Amino acid sequence: MMRIIAGTCRGRKLFSPPKSKFVKPISARIRQSFFDIVRPYVTGAVVLDLFAGVGTVGLEALSRGAAKAVFVEKEGLCVKTIERNIAHLGFGEKGKALKADVLSGLKWLEHFADYQGYDIIFMGPPYRTEENLPLFYSMETLRLLVESGIAKPTTVIAVQHHRKEEVKEQPGLEHTRREKYGDTYVDFFRLKK
């Protein structure tokens, strides 16, 4: 059972889709560590949760004082679950769940940040297919992110990925930090000045 870790909804349970769905939410340990790192930036932030799954990162951000969270997920059942969680936690005006494929481009998301850019962008692309084949979406998503213009110089960009997926700097991005949690890494980036 997933719960909100801290903030106004601390301890509240989150709905999740049936176990048959191939969705692996971010662990509570990684989520806690991530929010310890981004704590100075959360209050009043506009947060983008890409490959949102059931929306645990964006929902946690709202509980901790973010002004708005936009969730992007291509699996319809997950989008419905995010919407249910937004309503359940009372974030109806602050949360927006969108059904879309992140890899088809991100520029259209500027509208949902009122063309001001996002303050925190978290992406947790799936590691594997249902057939257990590796997926490597992180670098392409980072490239699309830079190309889209939806980040600003102060945006905290974080990508959660399997340690076997090589994630590194690319044009327009500066790598600022890496956290390791067993087989999972979280890499932090910001736009190059």
Domains assigned to the chain: 28-191 (3.40.50.150)
Mean pLDDT of the chain: 93
Tell me the pLDDT tens digit for each residue of 42-101: 999 999 999 999 999 999 999 999 999 999 999 999 999 999 999 999 999 999 999 999
Q: How far is residue 143's CA from residue 120's CA, in Å, rounded to a whole number? A: 17
Asked if residues 149 and 128 have their Cβ atoms less than 8 Å apart, the reply is: no
The arithmetic mean of pLDDT across residues 113-131, rounded, is 89
Asked if the model's pLDDT at residue 133 lies above 80, the reply is no
Asked if the model's pLDDT at residue 19 lies above 90, the reply is no
pLDDT score of 18: 75
Q: How confident is the model at residue 1 (pLDDT cuts 50, 70, 90)?
A: confident
Look at residue 64 and give its three-state secondary structure. coil
pLDDT score of 135: 78
pLDDT score of 21: 61
pLDDT score of 185: 96
The arithmetic mean of pLDDT across residues 90-117, rounded, is 96
Contacts of 152 (CB under 8 A, 6+ apart): 116, 117, 118, 119, 191
